[in-house]
Amino acid sequence: MTKKPLILVSNDDGITSKGIRVLVQVMKKLGDVVVVAPDSPQSGMGHAITIGETLRLVEEDIFEGVQAYKCSGTPADCVKLAKHYVLKDRKPDLIVSGINHGSNTSISVLYSGTMSAAIEGAIEGYPSIGFSLCDFSHKADFSHVEEYVYKIAAQVLKNGMSKGTALNVNFPPKRNESIKGIKVCRQAHAKWEEEFAERYDPNGRRYFWMSGNFVNFDKGEDNDEWAIANNYVSIVPCQFDLTAHHAMKQLHEDWDWADLK
């Protein structure tokens, strides 16, 4: 008998979210599933880890036939605890995170708890994917993405991935027309332009409330924002090496390091 792949599932919306339930059901068709996910929403946590505080891990009977744990920490904490404690000597064949309620395209990948779990998997050397649905509604419909989640995960299990990379997969919201297909593309040049409203609580203490608008500066048709806007699934390969290699030449040749001794 062929041994089933071992698949670790995590997310940032919490272990009770609709998105992770969909992801677990799809992954059960591909292999043996273990879940380690936050016990509460961790959106926007980026790659934060818990230092100097307790981490709690509690087994939950929440997914039929699946070993599952809720963790008090961040998505990155979940993957670390899964590797060192839950799985122990077992190595996952695939780590998947999501399905996130909301977009993780463009610059949002840096803030994303969903992608932090996938990136943590890549740091450990495992093929990893973060899945997100570009629909922030609590009533978001995930039915149109299930076949793509299956196909993409199956491709990774079959073909493997480049070391040190994780896939950032975003799905368009459900529309009247079917998804047109998949685009492997780059991260769009876009950013959030924040605003901070100064307010006061009933006790007269000042606080700030952040809001803002997402601004897309990118006019290309080879990026994730374009793909989602045109009803394609976007796949962006991401890496945790943040070295700006293009800037090294300037630092070597144009800066006078002798004067800085």
Known binding-site residue numbers for a divalent metal cation = 12-13, 43, 100
| CB 170, CB 233: distance < 8 Å | yes
**Pairing mode of beta strands 6-10, 32-38:** parallel
- Structure tokens belonging to residue 180: 């047109």
**Residues in contact with 258: Cβ distance below 8 Å, sequence separation at least 6, in sequence order:** none
| CB 67, CB 133: distance < 8 Å | no
Give dist(CA 14, CA 33) in Å, integer: 17
Omega cis (within 30) before 99: yes
Residue 257 is given by DSSP the state G
Phi, psi of 140 (to 5 degrees): -55, 140
Residue in the block written with tokens 């800037």: 247
- Structure tokens belonging to residue 100: 């996130």
Binding site, annotated residues = 12-13, 43, 100
